[in-house]
Chains A and B, each alone.
Chain A
Amino acid sequence: METSLKIAAALTSLCEWAARLAAVLLFALVAVIIYDVVGRKFFSTGSFILQELEWHIHGVIAVFAFGYAYTRDAHVRIDVVADRMNNRFRLWLELAVVVLLVIPFFLFIAWYGYEFALRAFERGEGANGGRGLPNRWIIKSAVPISALLTIAGCTAVALRLFAVLKRPDLITSAFVERGLWKR
């Protein structure tokens, strides 16, 4: 059990690094938009490249923190009815659903997402119409990477759920409290 908690900690920390990258990119996105707007309005620079860069950065911010948010229990739950359910049953249910359905779902996304990005790489796909950023495979690989990070987050939560159910003396919650930047 101690080993599986160590694995959970390592996977959690992987999710955290991805989320930190996304956090830093928030500032990068602000900077690119400001540079683009100021350039276009006042110096008539601005370009397709900048506008493409905007949604590229957005894409990474949008999908890189799925796993992180799950380790923090930040995803919405509709608990109006479920409050009356047995707590252990809820934990077992979450464990079963995550292991049997959600992780396979994202393995599927990771695999076909990888093929999707690989295809773009092999064909040397660039921007639509040729203007804009080349090498579409880079941003397309955000899909499989995000799926893998989600699997990492799901596995970490599943291992912790199992520990909570079997060894409540070791941990009492499947989720981590600390913030993104705290060690």
Chain B
Amino acid sequence: METLTEFLPAIMFLSLIAGLFTALPVPIVLAAITLIFAIIALALGEMRFVHLSLVPTRIYGGVIDNAVLVAAPMFIFMGVVMEKTRIAEDLLLTLQKLLVRVPGGLALAVVLMGTILAAATGIIGASVVMLTVMALPTMMRAGYSAPLATGTVASAGTLGILIPPSVMLVFMSDLLSLNLAKVFVAAFLPGLFLAGVYLIYLVVRALLRPGETPVPRSLSVDEKDGLWLEALISVSFPLILIVAVLGSIIGGFASPTEASGVGAFAALMLGLIRGRISWKVLGDATDSSLRTIALLFFIFATATAFSYIFRKIGGDDLIVDLARSLNLGDWALLFTMMAMVFVMGFFFDWIEITLILLPIFAPIVDLMDLGEHIAKADLVYWFTILVAVNLQTSFLTPPFGFALFYMKGAAGDLVEMRDIYRGIIPFVLLQVAVLFILIWQPELAMWLPNKVLGH
């Protein structure tokens, strides 16, 4: 009996992982496992009933009475409005025309769009599908090799979780009780750095292996007609919007919540200017936003109940004891956690990983100290960015990469799984390189926030 109570949290966690693979909806599994283990814990006397009756209070405090999370529904709404009013599509089409004279121009356009519209809802499954549907057929028709096209689209589609405004970062900073503005600013340079590495790689590859990309050409007179006005509207407007949203956060003019509301408002206005707002568009946009919001917050609410019970039956102690008894030292612990995040990214979207794993990691990260390498106050911010980059890498890594399945699903017979696997490898190598640079040089993440927001 004693061993049972000792290992109860471990059994609870493993049951959850097993339960998730039954393909029942994730929050349904979380609620079911939570109830089963709450009853077991009550029966074993590990928990008193009064604790259990506090679960609704926890859900209220975590999900509703939370000024920071207000940014999440607003950024989702902003991203969906940009998608439904076809602002995203216009941006891609125009960038593509502007870059047609550059080797690998279309691939560059895809990465640029992924960078600028990183906002687009921030759910990996959704953004990879959107970019696949929008860009992949065009790239294949234009004469890009299948591996190059798929690699570009998959990696550009996952940039959204890293580059702010990212919904994932909103949740991560809430779970680790961080300052959201600081997390956004810390993610900014690593995100741009990664996008920059992709762009350089694509140009170099297009120059070295011209066979994989179509020959650069000049635009026909027809295409040139009105291009500059079109570029002004479809590239500068979203660009200004994103720069304004991020700039006001980085410059300290607005809280992320305010920026998210302004962003959603601006997206609606942009749609109005383009004459794309109709009752149907508004209906579709609210419907699609609400489904994403419900998907996220249903998992968040049930995961809150799960972690509460998990902690009550001694889950925290188990994790910290386990970490201590391994006697690994902080660096080895860091790499162990990174490895766990990486493996989970094969199967799960960031939602499950951050909402389930981060509360478990939080006490370990709290105790970590890497001495001279990074200031204690910055450590958890740096850790957050590392997890973000790590997850993005994991989603792309064959054979299980989460984003790759979504891509194959959306692309249908257009490409072979083999091409997707082959195409993604160089991008994964670049990602891993960036991840190690970030581990080696924490300043890449922490310099900007400490500069503009102070310590």
Residues of A bordering B, CB below 8 Å: 19, 22-24, 26, 29-30, 32-34, 36-37, 41, 51, 54-55, 58-59, 61-63, 65-66, 68-70, 72-83, 85, 90, 93-94, 97-98, 101-102, 104-106, 108-109, 112-113, 115-116, 139-140, 142-144, 146-147, 150, 179-181
Q: Is B215 an interface residue (CB 8 A)?
A: no
**Could you tell me if A180 and B290 are in contact, using CB atoms closer than 8 angstroms?**
yes
Distance between Cα atoms of A140 and B58 in the complex (Å): 11
Q: Is B284 an interface residue (CB 8 A)?
A: yes
A-B contact pairs, 21 of them (CB 8 A): A30-B268, A32-B261, A33-B265, A37-B254, A41-B253, A75-B294, A75-B295, A76-B25, A82-B23, A94-B24, A97-B29, A102-B35, A105-B31, A108-B35, A109-B55, A116-B60, A139-B65, A142-B60, A143-B64, A179-B287, A181-B287
Q: Mark B161-184, 1 if CB is under 8 A from A, else 0.
A: 000000000000000000000000
Pick from A34, A58, A181: contact of B265, CB below 8 A: A34
Distance between Cα atoms of A144 and B295 in the complex (Å): 19
Q: Mark B272-301, 1 if CB is under 8 A from A, else 0.
A: 000000000001101101111111011101
Pick from B34, B72, B286: contact of A105, CB below 8 A: B34
Distance between Cα atoms of A66 and B297 in the complex (Å): 8
**Could you tell me if B293 and A62 are in contact, using CB atoms closer than 8 angstroms?**
yes
**Could you tell me if A112 and B53 are in contact, using CB atoms closer than 8 angstroms?**
yes
Say whether, besides A29-B73, A63-B297, A180-B287, A55 and B21 are in contact (CB < 8 Å).
no
Q: Which 4 A-B pairs have the closest CB atoms?
A: A33-B261, A82-B23, A59-B64, A75-B25
Known A23-B286, A58-B69, A75-B294; 18 more pairs at CB < 8 Å: A29-B74, A30-B264, A30-B268, A33-B262, A36-B258, A37-B254, A37-B261, A54-B67, A54-B70, A62-B69, A69-B291, A77-B24, A77-B26, A80-B21, A83-B23, A90-B22, A142-B64, A147-B56
**Chain A residues with Cβ under 8 A from B298's Cβ?**
66, 69-70, 75, 150
Distance between Cα atoms of A83 and B262 in the complex (Å): 42
Say whether, besides A30-B268, A59-B65, A102-B32, A75 and B26 are in contact (CB < 8 Å).
yes
**Could you tell me if A29 and B32 are in contact, using CB atoms closer than 8 angstroms?**
no
Say whether, besides A58-B70, A58-B73, A139 and B283 are in contact (CB < 8 Å).
no
Interface of B is mostly: helix
**Could you tell me if B291 and A29 are in contact, using CB atoms closer than 8 angstroms?**
no
Pick from B35, B254, B400: contact of A101, CB below 8 A: B35
Residue of B nearest to A80 (CB): B347
**Could you tell me if A77 and B65 are in contact, using CB atoms closer than 8 angstroms?**
no
Distance between Cα atoms of A37 and B255 in the complex (Å): 10
Most chain A CB atoms below 10 A, which of B257, B294, B301, B400: B294
Q: Is B427 an interface residue (CB 8 A)?
A: no
Residue of B nearest to A75 (CB): B25
Interface window among B196-204, B311-319, B348-356 = B348-356
Residues facing A in B62-78 (CB within 8 A) are 63-67, 69-70, 72-74, 77
Distance between Cα atoms of A40 and B294 in the complex (Å): 31
**Could you tell me if B36 and A101 are in contact, using CB atoms closer than 8 angstroms?**
yes
Distance between Cα atoms of A72 and B292 in the complex (Å): 12
Distance between Cα atoms of A97 and B19 in the complex (Å): 11
Distance between Cα atoms of A115 and B347 in the complex (Å): 39
Q: Is B27 an interface residue (CB 8 A)?
A: yes
**Could you tell me if A75 and B27 are in contact, using CB atoms closer than 8 angstroms?**
yes
Q: Is B28 an interface residue (CB 8 A)?
A: yes
Most chain A CB atoms below 10 A, which of B24, B53, B262, B400: B24
Closest CB-CB distance, A28 to chain B, in whole Å? Answer: 11
Closest CB-CB distance, B289 to chain A, in whole Å? Answer: 6
Residue of B nearest to A102 (CB): B31
Q: Is B20 an interface residue (CB 8 A)?
A: yes
Q: Is B59 an interface residue (CB 8 A)?
A: yes
**Chain A residues with Cβ under 8 A from B261's Cβ?**
29-30, 32-34, 37, 54
**Could you tell me if B283 and A180 are in contact, using CB atoms closer than 8 angstroms?**
yes
**Chain A residues with Cβ under 8 A from B405's Cβ?**
80
Residue of A nearest to B400 (CB): A80
**Chain A residues with Cβ under 8 A from B352's Cβ?**
76, 78
Residue of B nearest to A181 (CB): B283
Closest CB-CB distance, A157 to chain B, in whole Å? Answer: 10
Closest CB-CB distance, A125 to chain B, in whole Å? Answer: 12
**Could you tell me if A61 and B293 are in contact, using CB atoms closer than 8 angstroms?**
yes
**Chain B residues with Cβ under 8 A from A66's Cβ?**
27, 294, 297-298, 301
**Chain B residues with Cβ under 8 A from A150's Cβ?**
298
**Could you tell me if B59 and A82 are in contact, using CB atoms closer than 8 angstroms?**
no
Say whether, besides A26-B77, A37-B254, A97 and B290 are in contact (CB < 8 Å).
no
**Could you tell me if B293 and A179 are in contact, using CB atoms closer than 8 angstroms?**
no
Residues facing A in B213-229 (CB within 8 A) are none
Q: Is B57 an interface residue (CB 8 A)?
A: yes
**Could you tell me if A55 and B65 are in contact, using CB atoms closer than 8 angstroms?**
yes
**Chain B residues with Cβ under 8 A from A34's Cβ?**
261-262, 265
**Could you tell me if A51 and B299 are in contact, using CB atoms closer than 8 angstroms?**
no
**Could you tell me if B349 and A54 are in contact, using CB atoms closer than 8 angstroms?**
no
Residue of B nearest to A79 (CB): B23
Q: Mark B17-57, 1 if CB is under 8 A from A, else 0.
A: 00011111111110110111000000000000000111111
**Could you tell me if A29 and B64 are in contact, using CB atoms closer than 8 angstroms?**
no
Residue of B nearest to A51 (CB): B67
Residue of B nearest to A74 (CB): B291
**Chain B residues with Cβ under 8 A from A98's Cβ?**
28
Distance between Cα atoms of A62 and B60 in the complex (Å): 11
Pick from A30, A55, A112: contact of B56, CB below 8 A: A112
**Chain A residues with Cβ under 8 A from B27's Cβ?**
66, 75
Residue of B nearest to A24 (CB): B286
**Chain A residues with Cβ under 8 A from B56's Cβ?**
109, 112-113, 116, 143-144, 147
**Could you tell me if B63 and A63 are in contact, using CB atoms closer than 8 angstroms?**
yes
